[in-house]
Amino acid sequence: MTARTLYDKLWDDHVVHTEEDGTAVLYIDRHLVHEVTSPQAFEGLEMAQRKVWRLSANLAVSDHNVPTTDRSSGIADPVSRLQVDTLDANCDRHGITQFKMNDKRQGIVHVIGPEQGATLPGMTVVCGDSHTSTHGAFGALAHGIGTSEVEHVLATQTLLAKKAKNMLVKVEGRLPAGCSAKDVVLAIIGKIGTAGGTGYTIEFGGSTIRALTMEGRMTVCNMAIEAGARAGLVGVDDTTIEYVKGRPFSPKGVELEHAIAYWRGLHTDEGAHFDKVVEIDATQLRPQVTWGTSPEMVLSIEDRVPDPDKEKDSVKRGAIERALQYMALEPNKPISDIRIDKVFIGSCTNSRIEDMREAAAVVQRVGGRIAGNVKLALVVPGSGLVKAQAEAEGLDKVFKAAGFEWREPGCSMCLAMNADRLEPGERCASTSNRNFEGRQGAGGRTHLVSPAMAAAAAMVGHFVDVRRVA
C-alpha cells in the first residue's frame, strides 16, 4: 500500500462519494454549534421541514455574545441577547445538547469540545467558525464551515468538500525558556505568511510539536487558519490518548480499546509525500510580539519595529506604512518600548488551564500590582471548568491581588461582539489570534503574544522579555 499522510488517511476514512471533478461527500462525525453562525441554518432547516439528521453528533454552546461579568440578570445588549436566546430555542426545539450560559460546562466552543471528549482522534469535526482548526491537534480532520454548510451538516451529516494539498511544518529542537506554543505558531506564520498555507492542510510535526502538551498543540492548530490553511493537524501519540481518556463524551471500556487500536494508526506513514515542507529551528526562537495588523507582522521581543524605508518591494513597503500608521508606531522603535493600555488573557488560542498557570506564574514572579498605565487587565478562562480548576489552584487570587479582573468564560475581548472591547486608540497585549484593524473594537490596536508575555506586559506596562522579569 502506498504511504499516506495523516490527512490522506482521515480523508479516505470519511469519503462517502467522489465526483469526477474531485468534489467529495464527506461524512461528519462531530458538529459543534455556536450562536453566531447557526440562526439562518436552523431557519433553513425549518423552512425545508427537515429534522436534524443525527442529534448526538451535535454539541452547542453560546460563546461570542455572552457577558463575562455577572450573568445573574441576563444579557443587557439586545442584539447579543437575541443571538443567545435564538440558539437556546433552536437547541430546545430540536433536542440538541447544549451547555447554556449559566451551565458550568459553558465556554468557548473550541475549548469545550476537547475538554468534554467531544473532539476525538480520527473524527471529522466541523463548526461554523474558522478556528475549528484547533481540534486538529487530536489527529482529527477539523475545519470551519459557512452558515449554509451548517444547515447542510444539520440536515445530512455530510459536507461537500474538495481535498486540499499536504503540507508539513516540521519544528525541531527544544523550546528556549520563555517560549511556548504561541511563540512557535506566531513564528511559523511570520515565516510562511498568512497565505503560506492556502490550499493546504498543514500537519505540524517534529520533536518540538511532539514535546508539546495537548493544550500547546491546540494553540498551534488554532492558528493554522491564520497561516491560510483551513485545517491543521498533529499525529496521534501517547500524549493524545492520555488526554482523551476518561472525558464525559469519550468512549469507555471495550469501545475505548477498539478506538485506541484505531487511533494508534493516525499518523503519517514513513515516506509519505508532502506537496510542501517547511522547517523551523525551535532552538532559535525568542518570545514573539506582533507589531502590525496581520498575524504575519510579527517579530521577537529583541527586535525593533520595521522601517518601511528599508523595504525595497513597494507593495510590502506600503503595507508596512499603513500598518505602522494604524498602530501608531514609529519605525525602528524597540518592541520592548511599546507601552500598552489594556491586557487580554483569553480566547480559544490561550484560555486553557496551562495558559492560566503560565500567566499566573509570571504575575507571581514579578510580584506587586499591574503597571499604573494599564487601565484594564482581563483574564477570561475558556470554560466554566477551566475557571473552576484555576480557582481550585488559587490562580484567581493571584490575578485579583495583582489588579487583574477575573471573568466568566467566553470569547470576550478577542473580538468586539460583546461588552469587552478596546476604545479607539487603545493598545492591547492580547493572547488571542487576530490583530486586524478594529478586531478588538473600532480603532483598537492589538499585539498578539503568549500568556506569559501578556502577563509580563501587564505588570511592567510595556512589552518586556518574559525571561528578564524577576
Ligand X SMILES: CC(C)[C@H](C(=O)O)[C@@H](O)C(=O)O
The closest residue (CB) to ligand X is: 130
CA–CA distance, 362 with 364 (Å, rounded to integer)? 5
* Cell output for 348: 480559544
Q: Return the residue of 65, 83, 158, 432 that touches ligand SF4, per CB under 6 A.
A: 432
Does the footprint of ligand SF4 cover residue 129 (CB under 6 A)?
yes
> Based on CB atoms, which residue is closest to ligand X, 129 or 149?
129
**Per CB under 6 A, does 37 bind ligand SF4?**
no
**Residues sharing a CB contact under 8 Å with residue 113, sequence separation 6 or more, in sequence order:** 30, 32, 59, 119, 125, 127, 134, 135
Of 64, 387, 439, 445, which lies in the binding site for ligand SF4, with binding defined by CB under 6 A?
64
415: contact with ligand SF4 by CB under 6 A: yes
352 binds ligand SF4 (CB under 6 A): no
Considering the complex, state which of residue 433 and residue 446 has its C-beta at the smaller distance from ligand SF4. 433
224 three-class SS? coil
411 is in an annotated binding site: yes
- Tell me if 348 contacts ligand SF4 by CB under 6 A: yes
Q: Consult the annotation and say whether 414 binds a ligand.
A: yes
Residue with Cβ nearer ligand X (145 or 398): 145
AA identity, residue 455: A
Q: Which residues bind ligand X (CB under 6 A)?
A: 36-37, 64, 129-131, 144, 415
Question: What SS3 state is found at 39?
Answer: helix
| 8 A C-beta contact, residue 243 and residue 215 | no
Among 347, 418, 431, 450, binds ligand SF4 (CB under 6 A): 347
The entry of ligand SF4, ligand X, none near residue 37 (CB within 5 to 8 angstroms by kind) is ligand X
- Whichever of 130 and 208 has its CB closer to ligand X, that residue is 130
- CA pair distance 83, 69, nearest whole angstrom: 18
By CB under 6 A, name the one of 376, 377, 379, 411 that touches ligand SF4: 411
| Pairing assessment for the beta strands 288-290 and 298-300 based on DSSP bridges | antiparallel
Cα–Cα dist 4/264, whole Å: 15
Q: How far is the CB of 169 from ligand SF4 (least distance, A)?
A: 20
8 Å CB contact between 158 and 25: yes
Residue 417 CB, nearest approach to ligand SF4 (Å)? 7
DSSP state of 268: P
Q: For residues 39 and 265, which CB has a smaller minimum distance to ligand X in the complex?
A: 39
Task: List the interface residues with ligand SF4, window 244-283 (CB under 6 A).
Answer: none
How many positions of this chain bind ligand SF4 (CB under 6 A)? 13
- What distance in Å separates the CA atoms of residue 294 and residue 367, rounded to the nearest whole number? 33
Alpha-carbon gap, residue 443 to 448, rounded angstroms: 16
Contact 134, 32 (CB under 8 A): no
The residue (of 9 and 131) whose beta carbon lies closer to ligand SF4 is 131
**Residue 347 binds: one of ligand X, ligand SF4, none (C-beta under 5 to 8 A by kind):** ligand SF4
Is position 342 an interface residue for ligand SF4 (rule: CB under 6 A)?
A: no
* Helices assigned H by DSSP within 205-273: 207-211, 214-222, 238-244, 253-263
Cα separation values, 87 from 36, 74, 215, Å: 9, 15, 28
As given in the structure block, the three cell numbers for residue 261 are 487500536
Binding residues vs ligand SF4 (CB under 6 A): 63-64, 108, 110, 129, 131, 347-348, 411, 414-415, 432-433
Return binding residues: 348, 411, 414
Return binding residues for [4Fe-4S] cluster: 348, 411, 414
